[in-house]
Amino acid sequence: MLTALALNYLVDTFTQYAASAVAANTFLRSCFAGAFPLVVTPMYHNIGTGPSSSITGGFTALLITVPFIFYTFGKRIRARSKWSKGSVF
């Protein structure tokens, strides 16, 4: 559900460059999905379950703020971009 909303946002924001924006999103998401098991598995084995879960949970808690930052400052960010100026009303 969240992925569909993010892709709709990208298409609406970068109207002329929508295909490139969706491709970049898919590429970065795949990079993170491929790197996550390579990083997390050794971390759980080396420092234990509790600290590793705290680190991944803290990272997740920090990322919760990203949609609110985009909601608050999104118009200003889009106005500065040369590719998404057309989506600012």
Interval 64-78: pLDDT, tens? 998 888 889 988 888
Task: Report the alpha-carbon distance of residue 44 to residue 41 in Å, rounded.
Answer: 5
Number of structural domains the chain divides into: 1
Task: Report the alpha-carbon distance of residue 7 to residue 18 in Å, rounded.
Answer: 9
Q: Is residue 4 part of a domain?
A: no
The 10s digit of each residue's pLDDT in 17-31 is 889 999 999 999 999
Three-class SS state of 64:
coil
Q: Tell how many helices (H) and how many strands (E) occur in the chain.
A: 4, 0
Q: Is residue 64 part of a domain?
A: yes
Q: Is residue 1 part of a domain?
A: no
Q: Is residue 2 part of a domain?
A: no
Residue 51's domain comprises 15-87
Q: Is residue 35 part of a domain?
A: yes
Q: Is residue 10 part of a domain?
A: no
Q: Is residue 22 part of a domain?
A: yes
Sort residue 14 into left (φ over 0), alpha (ψ -120 to 50) or beta.
beta
Q: What is the pTM of this model?
A: 0.70
Angle CA(71)–CA(79)–CA(25) in degrees, nearest 5? 65
